[in-house]
A and B are shown apart, each in its own frame.
Chain A
Amino acid sequence: MEISLGLFLRLNYLVAITLFLIGLHTMLTHSNLIKKVMGMNIMETGIFLFLVSIGYARQSLAPIVDQGDGVIYANPLVSAIVLTGIVIAVSTTAYTLSMIVKLYERCGTLDVDRLERLRT
């Protein structure tokens, strides 16, 4: 009972870890390159969910500071970090996908195992 209540109070962290693990599993076990990039994106959103959950406090408001004193705001620092992280995630996705497209044009496959065999 106590454990289940503790888990429920940390549900956001639990979901963040689950998303991270699903993404990691996708990256490790799938041999398709585009699927690996999707797994990477899911991993990243898992990390972002963990960070933003840390910044949230019960009864807190969005960090637009115009409500006077005595109000709890959500932590703006994690929002700024996650904002940077989302932009960097899109940058890496764009670069990786363009390399994958070029690789397909040259080799005609997206499968890592086949690419490995092509090399030899």
Chain B
Amino acid sequence: MRHVPALLLLLMVAYVLFLTMAEAPAFGVVDVPSRNLVVDRYLDPDPEETGVPNAVARIIFDYRAHDTLGEATVLFVAVGAAAAVLVGRPGPFATRPVTGTDDPILRTVARLVIPFVQVYAVYVITHGHVSPGGGFAGGTILGGSFVLYLFVFGPGRAARKLSPARGEMVEGLTALWYILVGLGGLLLGASFLANAAAGFPLGVPGKLLSGGAIWLIGLGIGLKVAATVANLFLHLAGES
């Protein structure tokens, strides 16, 4: 039985996890240890500190914008590494990459659907500070519309819409944009990636053009994620 060590390990992990669960507070209780002073600060009903009502956007693009810069870098590096692995001479067992389809139904439906998907993506990106969504989700949807085009019309035509070189340029420029917004905080006399403390105009909370640096960074992240997704799928489909 070659699975015996694996099952033993599994039993050990299960024992520890169930022990932890037995000690955990019951589901749905308000006063759990994770709900502390910091969370109250994040959920401050008066949005003068950040200027946006969405508490998750506050954390991601303002209070912990440094972490998001690191996260965006991880995405950048991972997709760059994937592209670096995939380019180069194909091995002896290489199979036919994606070629697209001639099916008229798929082509017509894709033509009809893609504009609506893109409008929705722009909506999600630009309203990330007042409603759920934001740069990561909206950017993925925008990239997803490109992936739909790639699957239906083939990687050759998709690369003519957005070549890998141009995608990489968008990726690099939006990463630079994030850092420039952060340096803007430094230039205005506050810390790196500061928002209200640096004097970015916050606007009226709840309106579209509000939130200062949060809105600017969200826009950059949306474009960056879209370019990253498009590039990744171009490389995986064998178009480099």
Does chain A have a CB within 8 A of B104? no
The interface size bin for chain A is: 35 or more
Instruction: Give, as a whole number of angstroms, the nearest-CB distance from A74 to chain B.
Output: 9
**Which residue in chain A gives the minimum CB-CB distance to B29?**
A57
Instruction: Enumerate chain A residues within 8 angstroms of B26, measured Cβ to Cβ.
Output: 6, 9-10
- When the two chains form their complex, are residues B58 and A88 in contact, meaning their CB atoms are under 8 A apart? no
A102 to B58, CA, bound (A): 40
- When the two chains form their complex, are residues B71 and A63 in contact, meaning their CB atoms are under 8 A apart? no
**Which residue in chain A gives the minimum CB-CB distance to B32?**
A54
- When the two chains form their complex, are residues A78 and B34 in contact, meaning their CB atoms are under 8 A apart? yes
**Which residue in chain A gives the minimum CB-CB distance to B72?**
A87
Does chain B have a CB within 8 A of A115? no
- When the two chains form their complex, are residues B14 and A102 in contact, meaning their CB atoms are under 8 A apart? no
- When the two chains form their complex, are residues B24 and A17 in contact, meaning their CB atoms are under 8 A apart? no
- When the two chains form their complex, are residues A105 and B91 in contact, meaning their CB atoms are under 8 A apart? yes
SS class, residues of chain A in contact with chain B: helix
Contact A76-B78, Cβ < 8 Å, known A13-B27, A24-B10, A24-B13: no
**Which residue in chain A gives the minimum CB-CB distance to B53?**
A66
- When the two chains form their complex, are residues A91 and B13 in contact, meaning their CB atoms are under 8 A apart? no
Contact A106-B45, Cβ < 8 Å, known A53-B27, A65-B55: no
Task: Render A77-115 as a binary contact track against B, CB cut-off 8 A, 1 for contact.
Answer: 111100110111011101101110110111110000000
The A-B contact count (CB < 8 A) is: 158
A83 to B205, CA, bound (A): 23
Does chain A have a CB within 8 A of B17? yes
Instruction: Give, as a whole number of angstroms, the nearest-CB distance from A119 to chain B.
Output: 16
A107 to B3, CA, bound (A): 25
Instruction: Enumerate chain B residues within 8 angstroms of A62, measured Cβ to Cβ.
Output: 132
**Which residue in chain B gives the minimum CB-CB distance to A82?**
B56
- When the two chains form their complex, are residues B71 and A88 in contact, meaning their CB atoms are under 8 A apart? yes
A69 to B82, CA, bound (A): 48
Partner of A95, one of B56, B82, B90, B92: B82
- When the two chains form their complex, are residues A75 and B34 in contact, meaning their CB atoms are under 8 A apart? yes
Does chain A have a CB within 8 A of B105? no
- When the two chains form their complex, are residues B14 and A21 in contact, meaning their CB atoms are under 8 A apart? yes
- For this complex, 12 residue pairs linking A to B, each with C-beta atoms less than 8 Å apart, are A9-B27, A12-B27, A13-B21, A21-B17, A28-B9, A63-B55, A73-B55, A76-B55, A76-B58, A91-B74, A97-B236, A105-B91
Interface residues of B (CB under 8 A from A): 3, 6, 9-10, 13-14, 17-18, 21, 24, 26-30, 32, 34-35, 38-39, 42-45, 47, 53-56, 58-60, 64, 67-68, 71, 74-75, 78-79, 81-83, 85-86, 90-95, 130-132, 136, 205-206, 232, 235-236
